[in-house]
């Protein structure tokens, strides 16, 4: 019987794979037509009088996209087998049917809760949401196939960001993306798309006033995909569709997140998406009800929209906001300060650290298991321990927050904090101690701060967040390793911490990252000084320091600005674009490049050289 079951499964797999190969063209055509129709209609390229035809085309495309999971169920001839190969499609289809039934129940023909216009609008949203979801999911599957055809994970990672930026720039140039008539200049659209995809936050256009909801949603999607990386999504959907992740997929995603994923890529990708969605939903719920406009608190629909947008932007460390002055209207509003703050910190901790903290068996600690309530139920287990990376990241984050808060208060208590009470000064100091960790939000006017505060903020921006997260910068662990190496050299010993020795290879990598970062920032500042002589340098005091601040903010993907970015020339904008792009992929690219280097076949004799 067991052999018959195995033979039946083999034949079912062959039938399903043959069907999916034949249906691939239908999938691609339906996804392309449906998504293009959606984008062109909401981008106001297609006139609104043709909306009925657009909805009809999208409905046909949705039915065609649903044809694949239905065909798998028919060809597989086994519900459990078919569901295992169409898990995402099946769950999405069931949710769609439930929502469709709810709309029908609330329609005028049933309970009459919704009028005819509301029922039609809800049905249209369901169809369009289904088209967008299934089209995006098919795109990620196609991207995963392309990734397997490429020899270098480094090439795939860079190409994914370039493609994301170019597509985003094209969408932002559609008439429906911006408030002004016509399309924005390509340089501005490219700048905004790069800043969003690289989760930086610098802007040449105001998101809240110059972009329509369609343009704002494009930026939000770029933030989400850029913060997590397209390869994370591709790996997740690859596993959900049964194709699995091979050694090369594990290596690529593992190098991106700085962890060993051999045999664990699916679990880690699932953790990443689960943590992200969980934190963003929780952040949106906690932020709801605290957003204000010129006439008081915003209505319910705008409260929800603002909460979701700022929650995603904060967790991805993007720093984009819907207010023209970032969060300056919430300087002493603790609900906003604390909720944005914890999202920024958690997003910057790194997913490996978050997973380790969430799965840490604290009940197995000797001091805890002695409690009477646990002594009977907790079996004898090995004493758990946190990794050195987790200890360094958590302690380094807390130390930097305390140091940043103290230094900022000392420097600005008589300047940007002067008009606030003690509670407001504490809130402002705390927020500006954590936001340079590549968050990009600000509750105080950076242009009015002292040059010394700007310089200290640049140091915090260079340190950035931690490996494997959404933050940028050199990373906390890189800086700690470099400091340990200096101390070890003075003491004449190997770098050590927490009774562990740091490998020499990590010291070399950290040093190379530092040298490359400072070299590129120096080159960018030099180029900006040459191109912005008649704009920034001539129009403001401390113009050179302000240009350096902007370059460091771009390379560290922080997004804090002292008002320089909107006044840059086109050449200056291109320089900042290069800073943002290389700052986002630079450390990851370096790790991949070093990891992929070939072993040396021989070594030359050593010879000393005088230094110092």
How far CA 337 is from CA of 309, 328, 403, in Å, comes to 15, 11, 18
Q: How many residues does the structure list for the chain?
A: 612
Flag whether pLDDT at 185 surpasses 50: yes
Range 437-459 average pLDDT:
89
Q: Are 441 and 319 in contact (CB under 8 A)?
A: yes
User: Residue 115: phi, psi to the nearest 5?
Assistant: -80, 180
**Span between the terminal Cα atoms of the chain, in Å:** 78
Sign of CA dihedral 204, 208, 210, 215: positive
Helix then strand count (H, E) for the chain reads: 25, 4
The helix/strand/coil state of 293 is strand
Q: Are 195 and 559 in contact (CB under 8 A)?
A: yes
Whether 327 maps to a domain, the answer reads no
Nearest to 198 by CA among 162, 153, 236: 162
Q: pLDDT for 225-257, tens place per residue?
A: 888 776 566 666 555 554 555 545 555 555 555
Spatial distance between the Cα atoms of 372 and 463, rounded to a whole number of angstroms? 45
Q: What would the DSSP string read from start to end of 65-95?
A: HHHHHHHHHHHH--HHHHHHHSHHHHHHHHH
User: Residue 90: phi, psi to the nearest 5?
Assistant: -65, -45
Cβ-count burial 563-600 (b if 16+ within 10 Å, e if not): ebbeebbeebbbbbbbbbbbbbbbbbbbbbeeeeeeee
Whether 133 maps to a domain, the answer reads yes
Q: Are 186 and 169 in contact (CB under 8 A)?
A: yes
Whether 164 maps to a domain, the answer reads no
Domain that holds residue 95: 1-149
Q: Residue 501 forms beta bridges with which residues? A: 496
Range 546-572 average pLDDT:
91
For the chain, the helix, strand and coil percentages under 3-state DSSP, each to the nearest 5: 70, 0, 30
Higher-pLDDT residue of 203 and 233 is 203
User: Residue 297: phi, psi to the nearest 5?
Assistant: -70, 145
Spatial distance between the Cα atoms of 496 and 499, rounded to a whole number of angstroms? 7
* Burial environment of residue 183 by CB neighbours within 10 A (0 to 12, 13 to 18, 19 or more): middle
Flag whether pLDDT at 183 surpasses 80: no
422-434 and 334-349 helices, crossing angle to 10°: 20
Work out how many domains the chain is built from and give that number. Answer: 1
Band of residue 87 on the pLDDT scale cut at 50, 70, 90: confident
Spatial distance between the Cα atoms of 21 and 15, rounded to a whole number of angstroms? 10
Q: Are 449 and 541 in contact (CB under 8 A)?
A: no
Tell me which DSSP letter residue 175 carries: G
The per-residue pLDDT of the chain, averaged, comes to: 83
Whether 29 maps to a domain, the answer reads yes
Whether 97 maps to a domain, the answer reads yes
DSSP H helices, 175-212, are 186-197, 207-210
What is the predicted pLDDT for the residue at 262? Answer: 46
**Range in 61-75, 262-276, 488-502, 555-569 the model is least confident about:** 262-276
Spatial distance between the Cα atoms of 159 and 165, rounded to a whole number of angstroms? 10
How do 496-497 and 500-501 pair as beta strands? antiparallel
Whether 13 maps to a domain, the answer reads yes
Whole-number percent of the chain with pLDDT over 90: 31
How far CA 384 is from CA of 196, 264, 355, 365, 393, in Å, comes to 39, 20, 14, 7, 18
**Range in 82-91, 124-133, 275-284, 428-437 the model is least confident about:** 82-91
Whether 274 maps to a domain, the answer reads no
351-358 and 334-349 helices, crossing angle to 10°: 100
Whether 81 maps to a domain, the answer reads yes
């Amino acid at each position: 019987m067991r052999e018959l079951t195995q033979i039946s499964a083999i034949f079912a797999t062959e039938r399903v794979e043959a069907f999916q190969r034949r249906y691939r063209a239908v999938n691609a055509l339906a996804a392309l037509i449906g998504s293009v129709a959606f984008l062109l209609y909401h981008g106001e390229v297609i006139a609104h009088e043709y909306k009925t035809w657009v909805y009809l085309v999208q409905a046909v495309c949705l039915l065609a996209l649903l044809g694949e999971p239905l065909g798998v169920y028919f060809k597989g001839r086994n519900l459990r087998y078919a569901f295992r190969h169409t898990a995402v499609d099946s769950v999405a289809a069931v949710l769609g049917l439930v929502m469709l039934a709810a709309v029908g129940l609330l329609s005028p023909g049933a309970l009459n809760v919704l009028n005819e216009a509301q029922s039609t609008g809800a049905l249209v949203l369901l169809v369009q949401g289904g088209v967008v979801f299934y089209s995006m999911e098919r795109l990620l599957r196609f991207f995963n196939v392309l990734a397997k055809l490429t020899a270098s994970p480094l090439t795939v990672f860079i190409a994914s960001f370039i493609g994301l930026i170019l597509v985003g720039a094209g969408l932002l140039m559609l008439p429906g993306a911006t408030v002004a008539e016509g399309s924005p200049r390509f340089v501005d659209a490219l700048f905004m798309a790069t800043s969003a995809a690289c989760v930086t936050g610098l802007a040449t256009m105001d998101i809240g006033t110059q972009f329509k909801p369609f343009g704002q949603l494009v930026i939000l999607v770029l933030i989400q995909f850029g913060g997590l990386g397209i390869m994370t999504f591709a790996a997740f959907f690859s596993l959900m569709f049964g194709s699995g992740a091979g050694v090369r997929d594990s290596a690529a995603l593992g190098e991106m997140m700085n962890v060993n994923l051999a045999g664990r890529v699916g679990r880690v990708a699932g953790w990443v998406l689960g943590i992200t969605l969980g934190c963003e939903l929780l952040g949106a719920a906690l932020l709801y009800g605290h957003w204000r406009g010129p006439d008081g608190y915003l209505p319910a629909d705008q409260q929800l929209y603002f909460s979701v947008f700022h929650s995603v932007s904060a967790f991805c460390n993007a720093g984009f906001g819907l207010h023209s002055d970032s969060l300056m209207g919430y300087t002493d509003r603790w609900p906003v300060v604390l909720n944005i703050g914890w999202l920024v910190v958690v997003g910057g901790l790194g997913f490996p650290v978050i997973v380790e903290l969430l799965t840490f068996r604290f009940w197995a600690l000797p001091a805890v298991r002695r409690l009477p309530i646990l002594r009977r139920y907790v079996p004898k287990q090995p004493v758990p321990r946190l990794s050195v990376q987790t200890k360094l990241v958590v302690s380094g984050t807390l130390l930097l927050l305390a140091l940043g808060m103290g230094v900022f208060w000392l420097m600005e208590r008589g300047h940007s904090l002067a008009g606030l009470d003690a509670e407001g000064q504490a809130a402002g100091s705390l927020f500006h101690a954590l936001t340079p960790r590549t968050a990009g939000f600000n509750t105080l006017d950076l242009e009015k701060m002292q040059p010394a505060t700007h310089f200290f903020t640049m140091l915090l921006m260079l340190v950035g967040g931690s490996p494997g997260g959404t933050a940028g910068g050199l990373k906390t662990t890189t800086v700690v390793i470099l400091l340990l190496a200096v101390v070890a050299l003075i003491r004449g010993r190997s770098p050590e911490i927490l009774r562990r020795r740091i490998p020499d290879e990590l010291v070399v990598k950290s040093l190379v990252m530092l040298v490359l970062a400072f070299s590129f920032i120096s080159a960018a500042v030099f180029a900006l000084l040459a191109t912005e002589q008649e704009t920034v340098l001539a129009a403001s005091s401390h113009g050179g320091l302000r240009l350096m601040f902007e370059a460091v903010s771009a390379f560290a993907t922080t997004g804090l600005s002292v008002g320089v970015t909107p006044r840059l020339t086109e050449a200056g904008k291109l320089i900042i674009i290069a800073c943002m792009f290389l700052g986002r992929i630079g450390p990851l690219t370096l790790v991949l490049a070093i990891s992929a280097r070939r072993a040396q076949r021989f070594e030359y004799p050593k010879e000393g050289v005088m230094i110092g």
